[in-house]
Amino acid sequence: MKGFEKPVLEIKNLNKQFGKGCSDCCDINEKKLEKNYCPECGTVYACQDISFELYGGEILGVVGESGSGKSTMMKCLYFDQEVTKGEGYLSSYKDGLMNIFNESSQQKRYIRNHVLGKVYQNPMLGLKMNFSSIGNIAQKLIAAGYRSVRDMESRGIDLLNHVNIPVFRMKEPPKNFSGGMQQRVQIAKALSNNPPVLLLDEVTTGLDLSVQANVLDLIKKIQRELGISMIVVSHDLAVIRMLANRTIVMLDGRIIEKGLTDQILEDPQHPYTQQLVHSLLV
Amino acid sequence: MKISYNFAFFDEGSKREIRRAALKAVAIPGYQVPFASREMPIARGWGTGGLQLTLSLIGKDDVIKVIDQGSDESVNAVNIKKLIKKTTGVEQTEKTSKASIIQSRHRIPEVPLNEEQILVLQVPIPEPLRLVEPSEYKTKRLHAENDYSGAWLMLFEQIMKYGSMSTGADHPVLVYGRYVMAPSPIPRFDNPKLTCSKALILLGAGREKKIYAVPPYTEVVSLAFDDYPFRVESFENKKCRICGATEVFMDEIIDEKTGMASYQCNDTSYCLKKLNNSADNQGGDISERI
């Protein structure tokens, strides 16, 4: 019998709430809140029962309006925030047998340093702006266990070449760079430990169109050459169309539609997705 | 007006609390134990952390030695000694081997310490990750999760900028294979003295409200890369212009008229002891050489 491909990352029923909840909203399945917050107690249900799989070499797009829970989901995946409940399995961590959200904080840091890479929307969150660009890359390598300066330097130079940062500027701090260059240094840093899964959170937001195109081309190139699985979050459907093989659409903390990107764009089923696709065509 | 102090300035409850923090620090080598740093009659940043440790530990039979950057006679050392003398009346000494408690700023004495002694170091910035991470909440978490990439990053940056590790003092160390610790601003020359020290080493930061420790016979390793090993300051082919000592940490003195550099022992009591010994042997007058 032909076996099914095992996902690189599998998320099951991820929930994240801010607030304790009240009798009116605790059982959200029965009450079915209209929005993702409770008007009685103010609890925000940022992510509700998020489930998806990410396969090897795939780019999964996550699209939705501001406040739909995309970035919160990414923060939970990178352990920047604790999940309220849910399960996550990484095939490259303990053969995908352990729920990563239940691991100790030390193990979560190990996963961050060895298995995951993340590029933030705001480079200030992903980079140390006063340290050299190669130092930023080296920090991730040190965390992954490198102890040879020469090895780290040569790996850093390779990565900076890969993201088109001139090597003669490697000792400059990212604060001297343009927004696009800062994002490219972040990508180089995220790639430094050869992560099987790369998380990209609104990486082109705030960049002008030509720089956006450069960064998107770079992401495509990296995916093609290195075969890394990626989750790309964006509120811009054009970005998702260019990058993603499959797409999930989020609204009010829930996944309202998921499927192949072409299918979502050509034949959207949910009224919100239809509205989103329509806005792209206008 | 006659002012009477409780023995060693603090009330007994305060001393007990500081000792409790020190005991915890000994139990977890290199771990920074928070403590309620007291108001002192000297300014914070002038050795209040070390002084609180000293005053909490001192007994009537102790012999105290206080040094500041190697000198027994600097203003800071003299003031601290006066305070200890006034509030305890214990014997003071300049001889390292005679002291039971040695409070020091920026140096570990040249004379090897023994098991009967306690070295108290004054610490301005106890957090080795502070320059990389300003948030205390985050640094505590980094310690807990054993992520010291920030401390290594500082050294990596120095190598990128200057071609070698350039920490003049306070070179971070790994204590007992677990916690990375700021050894206070002692020169790199003194770092090897921390490992397997016979004396208990206590470090106190009054302003930052932290106590930490290196218990006797504990392994302490200075951070270094595989291809950039840790090196101490070299005084090769140099000797003290007063006592002729070699292989000790020396100050460089520039003659204003000639511009010539000469060297002399940084540890003044060591220098004096060596000078006295040689004067005894040779029967000469030491004042001719100073």
Residue B242 has pLDDT above 60, yes or no: yes
DSSP at B179 = E
What is the rounded average pLDDT of the residues A223-244? 91
What does the pLDDT look like over A85-131, one tens digit per residue? 999 999 999 999 999 999 999 999 999 999 999 999 899 999 999 99
Select from B141, B147, B156 the Cβ nearest to the Cβ of A138. Answer: B156
Catalytic site residue from B49, B59, B243, B283: B243
C-alpha to C-alpha distance for A60 and A54, rounded to whole angstroms = 7
Residue A42 has pLDDT above 90, yes or no: no
Mutate to test the interface with A, among B135, B138, B222, B225 (most CBs of A within 10 A): B225
Q: Do A148 and B227 touch (CB under 8 A)?
A: yes
What does the pLDDT look like over B181-204, one tens digit per residue? 999 999 999 999 999 999 999 999
* Chain A residues touching B226 at Cβ < 8 A: 147-148
* Chain B residues touching A81 at Cβ < 8 A: none
What is the rounded average pLDDT of the residues A33-50? 85
Going along chain B from its start, the domains and CATH numbers come out as 12-222 (3.40.50.11310), 234-290 (no CATH)
Catalytic site residue from B30, B47, B150, B204: B30
C-alpha to C-alpha distance for A235 and A213, rounded to whole angstroms = 16
Q: Do B160 and A132 touch (CB under 8 A)?
A: yes
* Chain B residues touching A150 at Cβ < 8 A: 227
Listing DSSP states for chain A in one string gives -PPPPPPSEEEEEEEEEES---TTTSSHHHH--SSSB-TTT--EEEEEEEEEEE-TT-EEEEEE-TTSSHHHHHHHHTTSS--SEEEEEETTSGGGTS-GGGS-HHHHHHHHHHTEEEE-SSHHHHS-TTS-HHHHHHHHHHHTT---HHHHHHHHHHHHHHTT--GGGTTS-GGGS-HHHHHHHHHHHHHTT--SEEEEESTTTTS-HHHHHHHHHHHHHHHHHH--EEEEEES-HHHHHHH-SEEEEEETTEEEEEEEHHHHHHS--SHHHHHHHHHHH-
B196 is known as an active-site residue: no
* Chain B residues touching A140 at Cβ < 8 A: 149
User: Quick one: pLDDT at residue A1?
Assistant: 44
The class level of CATH for A9-115+195-281 reads alpha beta
- Give the distance from residue B143's alpha carbon to the nearest chain A alpha carbon, in angstroms: 10
Domain ranges of chain A: 9-115+195-281
Residue A190 has pLDDT above 50, yes or no: yes
C-beta separation of B183 from B197 below 8 A: no
Mutate to test the interface with B, among A81, A152, A172 (most CBs of B within 10 A): A152
